[in-house]
Amino acid sequence: MDSHAFDWRGYGLGELPPAEMAECERHLGSCAQCRTELSRWQATLSAVRSLPQVEPPRRIVFVSDPVLPEPWWRRMWKAGPQLGLASAAMLSLAIVTHGFLARPPAATAPALQPGIEARIHAAAQLEVERRLPAAVDAAWNAGFEQRLQAELRPAVAQLERQLTEREKLDVANYEKQSETTRQADLKAVRYALETYERRLNFATLTASRRSGGD
């Protein structure tokens, strides 16, 4: 095969398909002209690859640490709306879940045959007639109890008010009586003091006269 039929640049760059690479290698073993051609390309490629990799003058670094840490209250303040939103979301989810779970199950009763349906109706009617009187009595009794409670409640309240007023009046009378007694006691004490003063004055005067007469 003519050496020009082979893509030696592609072979040197490793871009040929595996089958074509293998064919090139087989041909190289028997063709000195192609080996020379390939060596020229490889010399060119080696020369370009030999360009030195220069170190950058400085390192490129991105800073991640915050310059000053945020105070705790600012972090809390920032987290507040997020916590509130999360709480609201959880509450909404709980309400929706509860509503969904608390729903009565959908009626999925199978269709009944006409005869069976009539018998069920009849049995239900009998059961209703049997239980109805007792239910009416219970309802009546329950109503009577409620009416009694409704009528008694104002009377009891009025009695309680009267007792309270009476109690207040008794207290007032007792206080008035106590005040009168206290005033009388004070008057008696004052009278006794005046009497003692007069006697003392009299005794003092008598003593001075006797001493003057001597």
Partner 1 sequence: MIFREADDRDLVLRAREGRVDAFNALVTRWEKRIYNYLLRLSPDPDEAFDLAQETFLKVFQNLGRLDDPARFGPWLYRIAHNEAMSLLRRRRLEGPAPENAPEQATGQAAVFGMASVEVSIAVRGALALLTEEQREAVVLKVCEGFKFEEIASILDTPASTIKSRVYTGLEALRGLLAPVGGAPGANLPVE
Q: CB of residue 88 vs partner 1: minimum separation in angstroms?
A: 26
Q: CB of residue 40 vs partner 1: minimum separation in angstroms?
A: 6
Angle formed by the axes of helices 18-28 and 32-49, to 10°? 120
Q: CB of residue 67 vs partner 1: minimum separation in angstroms?
A: 14
- When the beta carbons of 2 and 55 are compared against partner 1, the nearer one is 55
From residue 94, give the alpha-carbon distance in Å to each of 84, 90, 100, 190: 15, 6, 10, 83
DSSP 51: S
- When the beta carbons of 50 and 211 are compared against partner 1, the nearer one is 50
Per DSSP, the three-state class of 95 is helix
Burial class of residue 9 in the structure, from the number of CB atoms within 10 Å of its CB (0-12 exposed, 13-18 middle, 19+ buried): middle
Tell me how many degrees the CA angle 199-201-207 measures, rounded to the nearest 5.
105
- When the beta carbons of 65 and 151 are compared against partner 1, the nearer one is 65
Contact residues toward partner 1 (CB under 8 A) are: 9, 13, 15, 40-41, 43-45, 47-64
Q: CB of residue 35 vs partner 1: minimum separation in angstroms?
A: 16
Burial class of residue 140 in the structure, from the number of CB atoms within 10 Å of its CB (0-12 exposed, 13-18 middle, 19+ buried): exposed
- When the beta carbons of 53 and 108 are compared against partner 1, the nearer one is 53
Q: CB of residue 54 vs partner 1: minimum separation in angstroms?
A: 6
- When the beta carbons of 43 and 203 are compared against partner 1, the nearer one is 43
The residues, any chain, with a CB within 8 Å of residue 115's CB and separated by 6 or more, are none
